Amino acid sequence: MVCCPYNAVMTFVNDTHNPALKSFVDSANTGTTDFPIQNLPFAVFRRAGSKEDFRCGVAIGDQVLDLTALGKMHLLSGDAAQAVQACSESSLNRFMALGAASWSALRASLSRLLSIDSPHEGVLRGCLVPQADVEYDLPARIGDYTDFYASVHHATNVGKLFRPDQPLLPNYKWVPIGYHGRASSVGVSGQALKRPVGQVCGAGQTVPVLQASRRLDFELEMGIFVGNGNALGSRVSIDEAPSHLFGMCLLNDWSARDIQGWEYQPLGPFLSKNFGTTISPWIVTNEALAPFRKPFVRDAADPQPLPYLTSDNNSAQGSLNVSLELLIETQAMRDTGTVPHSLSRGNYNDAAYWTPQQLIAHHTVNGCNLQPGDLLGTGTLSGPTADSLGSLLEITEGGKKAVTLHNGQTRTFLEDGDTIIMRAHCESDAAVRIGFGECRGVILAVEL
């Protein structure tokens, strides 16, 4: 096992990743949980149905460690003590702003406190709350939300629907494409969204009508949370980017394709996207992901990234081995107790044309100031095969080919009552499996 301190340029594997580590929380040691002691992701929670203040917590097995309660015990010192006090608020923003050294110090201390031989097990059990008994809020106050278009497969598939002769526009392989999303409508897993209403102008029509979207879709993405920010006018280099990347979550960028088709030219998505975005409650930290990093390789036949978007470190470990799964649960499935239908399975490494570090470097190259808690979406993470697509637009080829679900129902786009479920986990022969939990959202009917 490599044991190195945290460095601002790279995240090294350290003692917190040791596969031999076990926790006194038995459910963390199953080998199948998303939340072993090697993960320790962060969320904001309270007991479900209570009037308690929301507060920061860390997942361990099927429990949440209450960081406010932990902070009152004064078991930590130095940077870790400062960090846990920053976690005594109703969001992670102040903790995020402390920077990578503080994140790493708290993670190391939590790993020791929760270990199977912890001398503090007795008092710490009083700080644990069963996950089954909690509800979640957004993990951070999201000041800004930017959504990218980082999967070349998704971009190509969508391009073929509208531009068969030129699926990819000339700039795609040179620049990470993105647009400014709506932060106020980002919600946490369990979000219920009314079907959006907007202007639609269908094929052969010259006058638009106001109607509820009939081509409602999802997009399987990952979210990237910014930690410490940068000053206006400054840049974050690609090698500095990991120290500004707090962690990642799952993200569903709901999309009204019929509204989008009418409004997006020339300025891009607006009402077709801003009605709702759902994220998973747990942020898996950048450090926890270290054992699952993979080389970033750009096809030699493609344009190579400009100098500000490339480095030896990004090439060596810029990508991630994250397995992704997308499921749909219809109202009929819930009524009959039927399991959800799996729509696709893929992997971040196979889907992403740009790395998280490249997205941060590009976002700031013009001097844009990112802030703690800002959210970046990767864009739809569609893989190269038909069973690894991340949206119904692609799966049904624009609604031309309905998908048949295991209970006999069919879908071209989402119907009222449909729930979309996203899951993800990381596995490696040299590391313990970790996961992201679940991102779940349901579509409700709307009245005009």
List, as one string, the DSSP characters of 349-390.
HHHBSS-HHHHHHHHHTT-----TT-EEE------SSGGG--
**180 among known catalytic residues:** no
For strands 42-47 and 255-256, give the pairing.
unpaired
Catalytic site residue from 17, 153, 154, 341: 154
Cis omega (within 30 of 0) for bond into 266: yes
Handedness of CA 239, 243, 247, 251 (dihedral sign): negative
d(CA 189, CA 173): 33
Q: Are 107 and 40 in contact (CB under 8 A)?
A: yes
Token readout for 184 is 């106020």
Token readout for 186 is 């980002």
d(CA 211, CA 426): 41
Closest Cα partner for 416 from 235, 264, 193?
A: 193
Provide the 3-class DSSP secondary structure of residue 63: strand
d(CA 251, CA 304): 28
d(CA 433, CA 428): 7
List, as one string, the DSSP characters of 255-280.
EEHHHHHHH-TTT--STTTTT-EEE-
CA distance to 37, 238, 335, per residue, from 290 (Å):
14, 17, 42
Provide the 3-class DSSP secondary structure of residue 312: helix
Amino acid identity, residue 92? L
Closest Cα partner for 107 from 47, 140, 65, 45?
A: 65
* Catalytic residue positions, numbered: 154
